[in-house]
Amino acid sequence: MNFLRIYLGESDHCGHEPVYKHIVKLCYEHGLKGVTVLKGVMGFGEKHHVHRVDFLTLSEDLPIVIEVVDENEKIRKLIEEIKKCNFDGLVVYWDVSTLRIKKEAL
């Protein structure tokens, strides 16, 4: 199994939609096993703009991290879809072991 993480900014857009919501939608439509979106409190990337939580502004463009755990082949295909979206981001992935915990019907 593969662990995929995508770094981008909260205010990155893809058409009228935030990129991170677009990627969640892609995961949903392409039948990925799941996805989790985390929001950071501070960060910088390629352009060396430091983004941080700031009480004086509403548009903070905080760091967003999207996580997907799935089979390598499905992750590879998802990355191809994500690339079609026009934004600046960093994609990171590595191999992991997984185990599904299932609720027993009582």
Residues forming contacts to ligand ADP in the complex (CB under 6 A) are: 7-9, 33-36, 40, 43-49, 51, 63, 67-70, 88, 90
CB atoms within 10 A of CB 78: 22
Q: Is 7 exposed, middle or buried (0-12, 13-18, 19+ CB in 10 A)?
A: middle
Query: Which tokens is 85 given?
Result: 């979206």
Nearer to a second copy, 17 or 39 (CB): 39
Decide: is 3 part of the binding site for a second copy (CB under 8 A): yes
> Smaller CB distance to ligand ADP: residue 45 or 80?
45
Binding of residue 61 to a second copy (CB under 8 A) = no
Note whether 1 binds a second copy by CB under 8 A. yes
Candidates 43, 61, 77, 81; binder of a second copy (CB under 8 A) is 43
| Candidate list 48, 55, 57, 73; residue touching a second copy; CB under 8 A | 48
Q: Report residue 73 CA to chain centroid gap.
A: 18
- Residues sharing a CB contact under 8 Å with residue 23, sequence separation 6 or more, in sequence order: 6, 35, 66, 82, 85
With binding defined as CB under 8 A, does residue 13 bind a second copy?
Answer: no
